[in-house]
Amino acid sequence: MIHHIPNILTKQQVAEFRALMDTAQWVNGKVTAGTLSASVKHNQQLSEQDPLTHHLSDLVIQAIWNNPAFQTAALPHHIIPPLFNRYDEHESFGFHVDNSIRLIRGTSQQMRTDLSCTLFLSEPEEYDGGDLVIEDTYGYHEVKLPAGDLVLYPSTSLHEVSSITRGSRFASFFWVQSLVRDDTKRHLLFNLDETVRSLRIQHGDGYPEVVKLTNIYHNLMRMWSEV
């Protein structure tokens, strides 16, 4: 399931990120690519060792942990600290699949990548091309979101960033290990939670169906979560 999560960052926060990134030193994006994906990866990113990466990463982590829509859709257990990339003219990242296991930065802890995340830091009108293209059983989905918005999608998906033909595209990217590994189960829980939220707004927390569906939600979490 592909989820569009709006307003992870405010426009002011995006502007502050971009001001800092405009003065940064960028390195070849291949440094975090696997052997196969490195052959089709042509972009730039902030070094994982750069203090700016750590600073911006902490701000993104804080924002996503405080975002109810992200929490509902991802059910995060572990989050790889976010990284930051840019694509200038003629740069792209061809179709690839993300590594299934990654190290959490600064530790020896390995993490399974269930969900991939792209947080857009450029407005769509700032660049041409540069669509995030995600393949699933229903075909190809082109994603180009407003700055501050995030797309969340299964890491099992083949995906690419198409070639930039004008301007520059800035983004943050990271991965999530979910409490619920299976995408279908996670999507059922998402729909159930959204239904409960809607009923609470319409009828209040004491409405019998709210109580019953909340009970079902938590019992499914007990059954399916890996904690």
- As a whole number of angstroms, the distance between CA 86 and CA 106 comes to 23
State yes or no: 141 annotated in a binding site: no
Contact indicator for 153, 116 with CB cutoff of 8 Å: yes
Q: Which residue has the tokens 């052959």?
A: 39
Task: Write out the H or E segment, with its range, that includes residue 83.
Answer: strand 83-87
Q: What is the DSSP string of 159-205?
A: EEEPPEEEE-EEEEEEEEEESS--HHHHHHHHHHHHHHHHHHHHH-T
State yes or no: 200 annotated in a binding site: no
State yes or no: 169 annotated in a binding site: yes
State yes or no: 197 annotated in a binding site: no
Residue ranges for the known binding site for Fe cation are 96, 98, 159
Residue ranges for the known binding site for 2-oxoglutarate are 169
Residue ranges for the known binding site are 96, 98, 159, 169
